[in-house]
Amino acid sequence: MTVLGTFALWAALLFGCWTAAIAFFADWRSRPVLAAAVTRGVYATCAALLVATAALWRGIFAHDFNIEYVWAYTSRNLPSYYLVSAFWAGQQGSMLFWAVILSIFAVLAQTLTSARQKHLLPYVAGVTSIVVSFFVSVMLFGHASPFLRMAVTPPDGQGLNPQLQNPGMMMHPPLLYLGYISITIPFAFAIAALMSRSLDTGWIVAMRKWALASWLFLSIGITLGMWWAYVELGWGGVWAWDAVENAPLMAWLTLTAFLHSVMIQEKRGMLKRWNVSLMIGTFLLSIFGTFITRSGVIASVHSFTQSDIGYFFLALLLVAGVLSFTLLYTRWPMLVAEVQLESLLSRESAFLFNNLALVGLAFAVLWGTLFPIISEAVSGTKITVAKPFFDQVNDPLGLFLLLLTGIGPLIAWRKASAANLQRQFIVPTTCGVVTVALLVAFGLRDMYSLVALGLSGFVLGTVAQEFYRGIRARITLHSENFGAAIINLVSRNRRRYGGYIVHVGIVIYFVAFTGLAFQVKKQIELSPGESETIRSPFGHTYQLKQMGVSQYTRLNRHVTAAPLEISRNGVVLGRLTSERRQYLDSFGNKLFETATEVDIRSDLREDLYVVYAGSPDGTERSQFTVMVNPLVSWFWIGCGVLIVGGLITMWPGGPQVRTQRRRAVAQSGYSVPLAGVAE
């Protein structure tokens, strides 16, 4: 298998380089056979990488511990579903995973792009082939091949890290990778547009769904990462501003900015330079994130092993940055806006400020991530920049962004009048004010929370108003009933109303973050039969009664389990059993340090979160960390809403032609702010 896998990697490298060479240097415009050869080169690269993938999986499932990667990340008694996730659990496997997924995306880009944008495809193939070849090169030349053999074959492997033995880790890394990797496709379209000088909206139409898909994958991947951190790491939080968490967030922020500003280009022919710059920047941030994760240059709680391959990514980052921005510079005069901004009070301006907030937030995250290095270089003193710093710097920017999320849809295109503003803002502002008043009446006094929840009320008011007006217009114009009106409204304006649903999802995230700030945490120590209480921010009193400790062996681990009987306000709710797990290999040898398995009781208001911390003196008297985490379920609900909104936005079809015609009409002087009716 290792010979086959290595051979497949070399073949993929050969095919990738060949494809890129033809795409960028051959005259495929006058010789269609060469253009076809480029496409076939993409297919061949993908096929070779699929063979390499099959070879690695064969080695993993066959427990071929002579393969260093299989030995390092699996063991004979590892459950088979974790054998699947072992593929991307380590540095080398994740590199192959990245390469094969990108090659599959490259094939999809070649096959799914409409005929009108076919002229971009050879360049797209060239860019994707370069990136794929880079990853294969790192594997082959950076001592990062998953097919390296060992001098002797050990009887068993070292097993999978306990923290990766979680269902969330079967989904979180692949989805995050899908997001990261798929960014390459819209970037490739941007470069193709620059190289081919086809700088109309064609490239945007071709890559829009890719950008949306990438954004959706990143959103889900990031949220699954939050979920994994919450249920597996035992600290009761979802976001620690760790460098590896920050990396996809930065790309997500700039991609979000792009998805907003690209609408201005589609509707008004403006911000062309900015959009290309944003797409290049997003791709570079995805590579930067990989550099952080792989190099170990920045301290992180869950980066890969420190290795030299990070510097391959630094080189790619620099080369890609220089070449991309040089190309952009050479095409600068061709990217002139078709019309000019007319007013500060216009939706275009609101989108610009929204972009400023999103990119500013991405910059703040980048700044905080790099600041320890900068500070040490300047002052010579080592510092840590962690959650308190990021909270202090980013919270105001986040609230500013939330405010703009509510303002943007309220302002008319081109130029808003005072009457328009008054009419549009009154309901959302009332919603925000009423929200704050109610919260104050219920005793909330924390200023940040009041602002965050007040702004959330404002944004929800905006979205509700937009839906109400749209539905009312449809009922009036088309005599539809309410159900038909809402379905037709959304289906005929998928991007707009899907976007509003995404906004609701984002608001829910903000609300959940605000709730989690009121976490209550307590350490307790109990003998069997003893109980302790903890009071939740919502005023409930939980009683936790120790029910003893049991020990047993299950699958690949020895478990020490400590159940607690839970009552709320005197009513028994059931048991929460958290565990300490000692993972073993098939010979019963200990693997890794003892790991914690938390247990959580969730409802819409709050989670009761129990962590068994261990038993002093070898008795059943046990310590627990107990937390009450308000509103955590709303993170997962927010993610669901966001997915629904994203899928509506991406759904194929829709009135694309109509939008373009409207843009033509609008630019020829037919300018009316169609608030509530159409875009």
Looking at residues 399 to 418 of the shown chain, list those that interact with another protein (rule: CB under 8 A). Answer: 400, 412, 414-415, 417
Q: Are 328 and 265 in contact (CB under 8 A)?
A: no
Does residue 235 touch another protein according to CB under 8 A? Answer: yes
Residue 51 is inside which H or E element, if any?
A: helix 32-61
Residue 441-480 contact track with another protein, rule CB under 8 A, x = bound:
-------------------------------xx--xx---
154: phi then psi, degrees, rounded to nearest 5 = -70, 155
The first and second tokens of residue 11, run together, are 């073949």
Which 554-573 residues touch another protein, going by CB under 8 A? 558, 560-561, 563
Q: How far apart are CA 242 and CA 30, in angstroms?
A: 51
Query: Measured from the CB of residue 12, what is the shortest distance to another protein in angstroms?
Result: 36
Residue 137: which of 20, 40, 1, 35 has the closest Cα? 20
Sign, Cα dihedral of 645, 650, 651, 656: positive
Amino acid letter, 421: L
Q: How far apart are CA 174 and CA 169, in angstroms?
A: 8
Residue 652 DSSP SS3: coil
Contacts of 417 (CB under 8 A, 6+ apart): none
Which 114-173 residues touch another protein, going by CB under 8 A? none
What is the CB neighbour count within 10 angstroms for residue 672? 12
Nearer to another protein, 316 or 455 (CB): 455
The residue whose two tokens read 């608030």 is: 675
Residue of 397, 439, 444, 637 interacting with another protein (CB under 8 A): 397
The first and second tokens of residue 144, run together, are 């990062």
Q: Are 132 and 45 in contact (CB under 8 A)?
A: yes
Number of residues that bind another protein (CB under 8 A): 102
Residue of 209, 342, 573, 654 interacting with another protein (CB under 8 A): 342
Residue 317 DSSP SS3: helix
Query: Measured from the CB of residue 474, what is the shortest distance to another protein in angstroms?
Result: 9
Residue 360-379 contact track with another protein, rule CB under 8 A, x = bound:
x--xx--xx--x---x--xx
Q: Are 361 and 253 in contact (CB under 8 A)?
A: yes
Does residue 420 touch another protein according to CB under 8 A? Answer: yes
Does residue 550 touch another protein according to CB under 8 A? Answer: yes
Radius of gyration of the chain from its Cα atoms, rounded to whole angstroms: 27
Which 571-600 residues touch another protein, going by CB under 8 A? 580, 582, 593-594, 596
Residue 495-534 contact track with another protein, rule CB under 8 A, x = bound:
--------------------------xxxxx-xxx-----
Does residue 491 touch another protein according to CB under 8 A? Answer: no
Does residue 67 touch another protein according to CB under 8 A? Answer: no
Does residue 383 touch another protein according to CB under 8 A? Answer: yes
Residue of 341, 450, 484, 643 interacting with another protein (CB under 8 A): 341
Q: Are 661 and 332 in contact (CB under 8 A)?
A: no
Which 290-329 residues touch another protein, going by CB under 8 A? 299-301
Nearer to another protein, 290 or 346 (CB): 346
Query: Measured from the CB of residue 57, what is the shortest distance to another protein in angstroms?
Result: 32
Q: Are 250 and 365 in contact (CB under 8 A)?
A: yes
Nearer to another protein, 198 or 480 (CB): 480
Does residue 665 touch another protein according to CB under 8 A? Answer: yes
Does residue 4 touch another protein according to CB under 8 A? Answer: no
Nearer to another protein, 158 or 196 (CB): 158
Q: How far apart are CA 349 and CA 344, in angstroms?
A: 6
- Segment interacting with another protein (CB under 8 A) among 10-18, 29-37, 265-273, 344-352: 344-352
Query: Measured from the CB of residue 575, what is the shortest distance to another protein in angstroms?
Result: 9
Nearer to another protein, 318 or 374 (CB): 374
Residue 505 DSSP SS3: helix
Query: Measured from the CB of residue 103, what is the shortest distance to another protein in angstroms?
Result: 34
Nearer to another protein, 344 or 437 (CB): 344
Query: Measured from the CB of residue 239, what is the shortest distance to another protein in angstroms?
Result: 13
Query: Measured from the CB of residue 522, what is the shortest distance to another protein in angstroms?
Result: 6
Residue of 382, 441, 442, 668 interacting with another protein (CB under 8 A): 382
Residue of 396, 487, 533, 603 interacting with another protein (CB under 8 A): 396
H helix runs in 62-183, sequence order: 68-73, 80-85, 91-112, 121-141, 167-182
DSSP 436: H
- Segment interacting with another protein (CB under 8 A) among 84-92, 131-139, 205-213, 229-237: 229-237
Does residue 183 touch another protein according to CB under 8 A? Answer: no
Residue of 307, 449, 615, 667 interacting with another protein (CB under 8 A): 615
The first and second tokens of residue 135, run together, are 């990853």
Contacts of 22 (CB under 8 A, 6+ apart): 28, 34, 37, 38, 41, 122, 126
Query: How do beta strands 606-614 and 531-535 pair?
Result: unpaired
